Copies of this chain bind each other. A is one copy, B any other.
Amino acid sequence: MTTATAFPPVWLRDNCPCERCRDPRNGQKLFGITDLPADLTVRDTSTVADAVTVTFGPDGHQGVFSRAWLDAQTSRSAGDGRTETAKQLWRAADFDGGLPVAEWDAYLADDGERSRVLRAVRDLGFAVLHGTPTEEETVLAIARTFGFPRETNYGTLFDVRVEPNPSNLAFTGMRIAPHTDNPYRDPVPTLQLLHCLTNAAEGGDSGLLDGFAAAALLREEDEAAFRILTTTLVPFAWSDATTSLRADRPLIDVDAEGHVREVRFNNRSMQALRLPPDATTAFYTAYRRFAEIIARPELLLTFRLDPGDCVVFDNTRLLHARTAFAESGARHLQGCYADLDALTSTLRILEESA
């Protein structure tokens, strides 16, 4: 049994649930930390059933805590679910039994099915919806089932098909090696959707790769290289006549506790590093190590998007790729960006009401 006195007085007071401390309409705290006495003490506690009444000194303020809630605070936090610690890392063979897929109609009709899809995106980094309408702009309707499209200079949605004067290699028939999108943007889009309208071309298969798994392999096999990639700011840029984006971010971003939170990998838009020669050489050695891991065939999951298929994936974690296709063939995807925070929010609400 936890007694309230196991917690520092300032922590208890900052979390006081009384109506003077928290707006009962929205749960938000009504005070700032400097509004609290600097010399807080716990003067007295008394427990009746689940209710722990705490009397604070020096001001005599009282709050009633739930004992169950206090007990729960003694276990380590699971965090916000965005780092490697909360994910199921994978390699291609893990999906030999099938991809995380759902039929669009079932996804729309059944909250359990919708939870399963959103959970796959959160935990595995992706899911595929089958049987969505093969009409333009459907990708936006799909995004709106769990969140909000993020408009960028590419539009609210973008067409992935062969263009005569491509502003981006995505708009050619070239093979695109595994990469994350828009590393030159900050905030980077955390989700991407790709919705297939037509795929009659020879080639043009899709690939996905778990960047967190690749980063974990790098750390296991060459910790010094891992450390270099978490601490070197890499300039990424993209520009055309009306847009000039730039962001300097590490290839592997770890949180304050050292857990991998984001991966960026895109040689196409990586700019010249300006480091002393030794640091440059060390970076490139580490970068090649990481790239060699990413190139391992056992990591790359390949599948084909058919008309009506939509893949939703975590762009801070998964790398995506496509094989080359004949530019004479008909292949047309529509894509959009969205954000993970809204998706995980939607999932939490579904799980709470289940």
Q: Which residues of A contact B (CB under 8 A)?
A: 6-8, 10-11, 14-15, 23, 25-34, 38, 73-77, 79-82, 148-153, 165-169, 174, 177, 185-188, 190, 230-233, 235, 238-248, 250, 255-257, 267-270, 272-274, 277, 280-281, 284, 287-288, 291-292, 295, 339-342, 344-345, 348-349, 352
Contact = CB atoms under 8 A, between A and B. Distances in A.
A233 B250 contact: no
Given A233-B255, A345-B245, A349-B242, A291 B11 contact: no
A60 to B, nearest CB: 20
B256 A33 contact: no
A230 to B, nearest CB: 7
B235 A77 contact: yes
Contacts of A177: 32
Contact of A239 (B27, B245, B247): B27
Contact of A256 (B74, B250, B352): B250
Contacts of A188: 187
Contact of A33 (B148, B153, B284): B284
Contact of A348 (B79, B231, B244, B268): B244
Copies in the complex: 2
B187 A270 contact: no
A240 B26 contact: yes
Contact of A10 (B10, B233, B284): B284
A257 B231 CA distance: 7
Nearest to A241: B349
A245 B10 contact: no
A61 B344 CA distance: 48
A286 to B, nearest CB: 10
